[in-house]
Amino acid sequence: MPSEQSLTERLLNGEPRAVARAITKVESGANGAAALMKEVFPKTGNALVIGITGSPGAGKSSLVDKLALFYRDRGERIGIICVDPSSPFSGGAILGDRIRMQTLGLDKNVFIRSMATRGNLGGLARATVDAVAILDAAGFEKIIVETVGVGQDEVEIVKTADVSVVVLVPGMGDDIQAIKAGIMEIGDVFVINKADREGVLRTEKELEALLSLAHRPDFWNSPIVKTVATENKGIEDLAKAIESYNDFQKTGESGLNRKQAIARWRLLELLRETLLVKTLKVNGASDRLEKLALEVAEKKRDPYSAVEDMLNSI
């Protein structure tokens, strides 16, 4: 068995197997990850991290694959992290991985990994940013974090990227207003994918109108890029838009502000997880939790008293 030291060394050399093992390690929990991440962290900061989110059905996977191929053709190494809401039991993540491995996975300059559902103790968001740091330290020049869905955790994760891309499609239906409202603040670049479909002009106009109302603290005007990912159209424009926000960010104070906000969020996530793990590790705490859960289920006790009781007893 290779020692801990050599895992870090091999990962810093960019060996895919070491990268995969390291990510598995950070997925399994913050405690196991700590020693590794302390070594990895100082080697990070060279990659451009791109977050891509949007509704299911927007064609994010195709877009990510085409963008990855575009970068690869420029001679870069690309890491892709898919944050997948599927349960590890249902096989969703694995299935998705396998399909994509057929087109991209045989290329050793492209590393693809799905991060599965968080467990009871949370930590998906923390594990995802750790995985990004590992890829960064391993020398991947571009790291794409793709989140399926528009949930809270997913939005938080995308916000940790250097550049956040929001993908829409023409005529998405009833909830488009709601989605747009929720993501206005996180999109540094907007993509209207499937731009060969009817209604693209209307979606573009609506989006422009919404963007004109938004007030970004950094005064950036988020560009709108039209793509047809399945036909490889608009991918270069997207890459340019991403680059332009990244350049913009480096000039002003907003870059450090953003990095500090991300760091604060990251510390809070890690603190939350660490506190819970430490508390449940106390002798008898897990049994106590089970007992209290049963009492709450049987309505013999309310959750607030139960938690107070638990904190007092340890």
In the set 150, 165, 192, 242, which binds a second copy (CB under 8 A)? Answer: 150
Burial of 52 (0-12, 13-18, 19+ CB in 10 A): buried
In the set 68, 112, 155, 241, which binds a second copy (CB under 8 A)? Answer: 155
Instruction: For residue 297, give the 3-state DSSP assignment.
Output: helix
In the set 124, 163, 191, 242, which binds a second copy (CB under 8 A)? Answer: 124
> Could you say whether residue 84 binds a second copy (CB under 8 A)?
yes
The nearer residue to a second copy, 109 or 218, going by C-beta atoms, is 218
**Hey, what are 48's tokens?**
């451009």
Q: What is the largest CA-CA distance in the chain?
A: 64
In the set 153, 206, 218, 237, which binds a second copy (CB under 8 A)? Answer: 153
User: Of the ranges 2-10, 101-109, 174-182, 200-208, which one interacts with a second copy (CB under 8 A)?
Assistant: 174-182
> Could you say whether residue 91 binds a second copy (CB under 8 A)?
yes
18 CB neighbour count, 10 Å cutoff? 20
Residues 14-33 that bind a second copy (CB under 8 A): 30, 33
Residues 40-59 that bind a second copy (CB under 8 A): 41-42, 44-45, 55-59
The nearer residue to a second copy, 16 or 41, going by C-beta atoms, is 41
Q: How far apart are CA 185 and CA 156, in angstroms?
A: 12
Q: How far apart are CA 121 and CA 81, in angstroms?
A: 21
Are the C-beta atoms of residues 158 and 43 closer than 8 Å to each other? Answer: no
Q: How far apart are CA 167 and CA 259, in angstroms?
A: 23
Distances (CA, A) of 107 to 19, 46, 144, 151: 15, 22, 16, 31
In the set 253, 275, 281, 282, which binds a second copy (CB under 8 A)? Answer: 275
37 CB neighbour count, 10 Å cutoff? 22
User: Of the ranges 105-113, 158-166, 237-245, 304-312, which one interacts with a second copy (CB under 8 A)?
Assistant: 304-312
Angle at 148 between CA 33 and CA 220, to 5 degrees: 90
Q: How far apart are CA 256 and CA 250, in angstroms?
A: 8
The nearer residue to a second copy, 45 or 252, going by C-beta atoms, is 45
Determine if residue 123 is left, alpha or beta; phi over 0 gives left, psi from -120 to 50 gives alpha, anything else beta.
Answer: left
> Could you say whether residue 173 binds a second copy (CB under 8 A)?
yes
In the set 101, 121, 209, 282, which binds a second copy (CB under 8 A)? Answer: 121
* DSSP character at residue 172: -
Helix 60-73 with 235-251: angle, nearest 10 deg: 80
Q: What is the CA radius of gyration of the chain?
A: 21
Give the nearest distance from C-beta 57 to a second copy in angstroms.
Answer: 3
> Could you say whether residue 107 binds a second copy (CB under 8 A)?
no
The nearer residue to a second copy, 45 or 108, going by C-beta atoms, is 45
> Could you say whether residue 120 binds a second copy (CB under 8 A)?
yes
User: Of the ranges 169-177, 201-209, 216-224, 237-245, which one interacts with a second copy (CB under 8 A)?
Assistant: 169-177
Residues 189-248 that bind a second copy (CB under 8 A): 214
H or E, element range at 167: strand 163-168
In the set 16, 69, 70, 86, which binds a second copy (CB under 8 A)? Answer: 86
> Could you say whether residue 139 binds a second copy (CB under 8 A)?
no
The nearer residue to a second copy, 239 or 296, going by C-beta atoms, is 296
In the set 101, 201, 209, 293, which binds a second copy (CB under 8 A)? Answer: 293
> Could you say whether residue 85 binds a second copy (CB under 8 A)?
yes
